[in-house]
């Protein structure tokens, strides 16, 4: 009986660390998702403000009175997309086993965010001779952003796929009259929009990777301590 009680009493000690590890992973996942959501909402507000100042996007006048009251659903949607993308990128890295070619630091992530905002600022503020020139310039800048801050095949592939899907989703919104472009081209979607989406995906993916890398370092330290 004493041995049985000791075994039954010792069982939770073996299960305890495992349950604690699962709980910590779940909590870390929720924290990362919440942080990525806030990043997506913030970027959506800032970038939408740049586009509205340029009068690139037009929402129904009875819906808009300011940047915060217009398209209230846009920031939450961007936040949700940022959370999904930011969690997907490190997951794909682990599944594919693709090593990081660049040193992961928050300074590089912040520079990536700054370049992404700069690309959007250029699309909203700089006057180009025509849309083809604008599209080619933004495409070169977006690929340059990927090469400078990512260089992974999985990052490039996911960026292209998500950019295409996001452009198609925007196309559906335009067709349904949710919003429209002042100077539409290429089936009511400005031809540079996929470049903006691609750069945004790469940026959010880098943020997600950095958050996951921090969690990995903490878990490794705990493992060595144990």
**Read out DSSP for 79-130?**
HHHHHHHHHHHHHHHHHHTPPPSS---HHHHHHHHHHHHHHHHHHHH---SS
| 96-123: average pLDDT | 82
Please, which pLDDT band fits residue 18 given cuts at 50, 70 and 90? very low
Whether 57 shows a pLDDT value over 60: the answer reads no
**Residue 186 contacts residue 82 (beta carbons within 8 Å):** no
**Minimal CA–CA distance to 83: which of 45, 121, 130, 29?**
29
Within-domain flag for 17: no
Domain that holds residue 80: 36-225
Domain membership of residue 91 (yes or no) is yes
Average pLDDT over residues 117-125: 82
Longest distance between any two alpha carbons in the chain, whole Å: 88
pLDDT at position 127 is 73
Residue 93 has pLDDT above 60, yes or no: yes
| pLDDT of residue 197 exceeding 90 | yes
Residue closest to 195 by CA, chosen among 155, 152, 144: 144
DSSP per residue over 29-48, as a string?
Answer: HHHHHHHHHHHHHHHHHHHH
C-alpha to C-alpha distance for 180 and 57, rounded to whole angstroms: 6
Would you say residue 24 lies in a domain?
A: no
Closest CA to 205 of 75, 10, 36, 72: 36
Which pairs from 76-81 meet CB under 8 Å and 24+ separation? 76/41, 77/44, 78/40, 78/41, 78/43, 78/44, 79/36, 79/37, 79/38, 79/39, 79/40, 79/41, 79/44, 80/37, 80/40, 81/40, 81/166, 81/204
- Whether 25 maps to a domain, the answer reads no
N-to-C CA span, the chain: 31
Please tell me the predicted confidence (pLDDT) of residue 35.
94
Q: Is residue 27 part of a domain?
A: no
Asked whether residue 216 is domain-assigned, the answer is: yes
156: pLDDT confidence band, cut at 50, 70 and 90? Answer: very high
Residue-level pLDDT at 140? 94
Quote the CA–CA distance of 147 and 158 in Å, as a whole number.
14
In a domain, 3, yes or no: no
Would you state the pLDDT for residue 141?
Answer: 94
Q: How many domains does the chain have?
A: 1
Indicate whether 13 belongs to any domain: no
């Amino acid at each position: 009986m004493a041995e049985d009680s000791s075994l039954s009493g010792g069982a939770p000690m073996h299960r305890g660390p495992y349950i604690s590890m699962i709980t910590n992973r779940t909590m870390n996942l929720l924290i990362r998702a919440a942080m990525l959501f806030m990043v997506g909402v913030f970027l959506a507000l800032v970038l939408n403000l740049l586009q509205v100042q340029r009068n690139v996007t037009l929402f129904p006048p009875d819906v808009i009175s300011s940047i915060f009251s217009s398209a209230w659903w846009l920031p939450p949607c961007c936040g949700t997309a940022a959370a999904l993308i930011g969690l997907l990128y490190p997951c794909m890295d682990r599944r594919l086993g693709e090593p990081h070619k660049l040193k992961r630091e928050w300074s590089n992530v912040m520079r990536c965010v700054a370049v992404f905002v700069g690309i959007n600022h250029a699309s909203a503020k700089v006057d180009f001779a025509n849309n083809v020139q604008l599209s080619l310039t933004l495409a070169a800048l977006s690929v340059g952003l990927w090469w400078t801050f990512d260089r992974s095949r999985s990052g490039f592939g996911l960026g292209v796929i998500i950019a295409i899907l996001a452009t198609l989703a925007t196309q559906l919104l335009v067709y349904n009259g949710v919003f429209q472009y002042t100077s539409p081209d290429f089936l009511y979607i400005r031809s540079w929009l996929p470049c903006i989406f691609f750069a945004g995906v790469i940026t959010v993916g880098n943020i997600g990777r950095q958050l996951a890398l921090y969690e990995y370092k903490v878990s490794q330290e705990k493992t060595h301590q144990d």
